[in-house]
Every structure is written in structure tokens, then in C-alpha cells.
Structure 1
Amino acid sequence: MTVIIISLILIFIGNSLPLNGILMGVILPFITFIIGKRRSLFFIFLAWILFSLQTDKYSFNLLVIALFGFLNFLLFCYVEYDRKSIFYLVPLDIGFYLLIVYKSLYIRINIKYLIINIISFFILNYFYTSRKNKRKIDEA
């Protein structure tokens, strides 16, 4: 539960920073973690609210997060949520990040924020999968 609370705080802080780009490096791995552990949709709803606080695109963000959650749910019907699944999750995260910044693709995408997001996708997906497997070992 502490991982969930810390992640929600990081989502809020990431969206409160006055930056020129969008940081999705926390919210996408967090949604994957929630769906991978079969938790409540309440946390996804809360993450959407915290992610959309500083924007005026509530419905677009809800649509993207719902689509991302649905694709993760379908993925986890066939793939186990473990460290090997990072190779599936990071390209999915990158694709949805590019969907969020689709207007920047025509002008010029900010490479600095893309690299920051890719690194955070790797790190947080690895961290969340290790927490999931550690919890499974503790329960056994």
C-alpha cells in the first residue's frame, strides 16, 4: 500500500512541476502495476484525477488511460506480470507517451523528455515487477 501512496504522490508532483514537456514516466507504469496485481479501479481513477489536475484535457486523458488499461488487461490475460514482461511494457508505454504528445510529432518532439520518460519507464516497470514478485514470495 505504501508503494501505491508514494506513486500517487509522485504523479501529483510530476504534474505540478512547471515543465515544457509531459512526464508520463510514473503514471503508465503505475497503471500497469495496478492492473498486473488485479487491484481496484479506484487507484486508476485517482491516478487519472491527479494526472489531469493541471490540464484542461480531462476527457482525452481518461480515454487514453482507459485504452491503456484495457490493453494492459488484455496483455496480462496472455503474459505473466514479471520482469520478463518489461520487454512488452516499455514499447507499450512509449507508444502511449507518443499518443499523448501527438501534436509535437508534427512540429518537433522534445527528445530530452522522451529520453527521461523512456528511462523512467524502464526503472519503474522494473521496480514494480520486483515489488509484485517480492509480495508473492512473502505470501507463500
Structure 2
Amino acid sequence: MNGSNDRLEFLRKVYHDNLIPVPSKFKKHGYRKPSRRHKSSRQLIADESKRISSILQNPNIQVKPVPKVTYFNVNAPPSIRPSKKYCDITGLKGYYKSPVNNIRYHNSEIYQLIVKPMTPGVDQEYLKLRGDNFVLK
């Protein structure tokens, strides 16, 4: 019984010795985790409705009627993520791009069998599917 009290006193002493009376210099006292970067669609619609109603209530501004705000007519900011690139032959992730004809391919086997021996007209057809072809005039 006496041994457990000694251990408890020791742990209390260590705990009090390790307390830091001043705030840490690495974390500010009023620190909060940053809020979300983008608003949800419901918040976007509510904000847009408030903005439109405030414009319509102002008697000095003459504006034409504004349609109701829905999920389909709220404009979102452009994505900051890079677009995904897919293989023009298989549709899998396109890890590589041919330096000769700009065809994206998944692995070296596809390059050796299909992309490397491809004729110039065929590669333009693959690029046309992706919308990356060029027309010489």
C-alpha cells in the first residue's frame, strides 16, 4: 500500500515539474484550425440568394429580374487540382507521353506494340478523340 502511494506522489511530482507556465512559442494562444477552403453547395446557394435579395431591395439600383438560385445555375470556381491524364489507347492512367506524336500511353508494352509503329494519320485520330489534334492548312 505504501509503495503505490510513493509511486503516485512521484508521478504527481513529475507531472508538476513538466508543466510549462508560459504558452508555447510554437502555437499561439488563440490558434484555431483553418476553416474549410470551399463552401458547400447549400452555403453557396444561400449566400447567392442573400446577395440577390439585397440587390433587389435597394431602390437606387435598377436591375432586371434574376432567376431563382438552384444547384444548376451557381457558378463554382475552377478546380485547383490538375486534370487527370488517361491512356489514349486503353483508358487507364496515362503515365507517359510519346515525344513523337504526343499520344499518352500506360506502359512500355503499349508503346512498343501500338504507339511506336503508329502512322501519322492514325495518331491524329487518337488525338482528335481527346480534342488535342492539330490541323495543318
Q: Higher helix fraction: Structure 1 or Structure 2? A: 1
TM-score interval (norm. to shorter): under 0.3
TM-score scaled by structure 2?
0.20
Higher relative contact order (CA 8 A, sep 6+): 1
